[in-house]
Amino acid sequence: MMRIEIPAKSMRFPGKCVCCLRPTGETRELRKHKFSFWVVLVLQRTLKVKVPYCAACQRHVDWAKGGRMLGVVLSGVVNVVLSLLLGGLVFMMLRFANPSIDENPDVPRLAVLSVAVVIAGLLTWRRLKSKPERPVDATHTRENEAVELISFTKRSVRLRIHNDAFARELLDMNAQASVV
């Protein structure tokens, strides 16, 4: 792990993924917010930095940040609850629009319920599909983000880079960058 300070304006990155070092044209946006208080005003400044990150590595980072399988289970529960609430609302609207539904409410009720369950299932399945195909092995730096934005000023940016080989290349490319 290396901490590097780099001038904000002239920042250049190697054309390879910061996690696995494979050549890539893809980038991942890092964001950092900074708040300053001025009498009664709160001023927010946000810095965005795009770092080279291949699609496969972004996938394992998103999967790790989303709580892995536990995240899928939790989002499944939330999806079921939300779609049932929404289904209940739709059913109430149907009843309002057509009061004769009350004579035989089971058919529309069942229809609304099945649509809700199918939607919840599809949403959860989509999330499960984002699971990385291969486990994170030794060719990767780490499962979570291999680079973090620590802080910034008007002039410079501080990065924590977990991949030392990438950090050294970054230092070579940016003459004004330094280890802090």
Q: Is 161 in the site for Zn ion (CB under 5 A)?
A: no
> How many residues contact Zn ion, by CB under 5 A?
6
Instruction: Output the CA angle 5-9-46, nearest 5 degrees.
Output: 80
d(CA 26, CA 17): 8
Answer for the pair 149, 31: CB distance below 8 angstroms, yes or no: yes
Read off the tokens for 94: 């149907």
Least distance to Zn ion from the beta carbon of 33, Å?
26
Least distance to Zn ion from the beta carbon of 107, Å?
51
Nearer to Zn ion, 127 or 140 (CB): 140
d(CA 117, CA 94): 18
Count Cβ neighbours within 10 Å for each residue of 43-57 and write b for 16 or more, e otherwise.
eeeeeebebbbbebb
Q: Is 17 in the site for Zn ion (CB under 5 A)?
A: yes
Using CB under 5 A, which of 4, 6, 11, 19 touches Zn ion? 19
Nearer to Zn ion, 6 or 19 (CB): 19
Using CB under 5 A, which of 140, 149, 156, 157 touches Zn ion? 140
Using CB under 5 A, which of 20, 51, 120, 167 touches Zn ion? 20
Q: Is 57 in the site for Zn ion (CB under 5 A)?
A: yes
Q: Is 159 in the site for Zn ion (CB under 5 A)?
A: no
Nearer to Zn ion, 99 or 135 (CB): 135
H helix runs in the chain, sequence order: 55-65, 68-97, 106-129, 164-173
What residues make contact with Zn ion under the rule CB under 5 A? 17, 19-20, 54, 57, 140
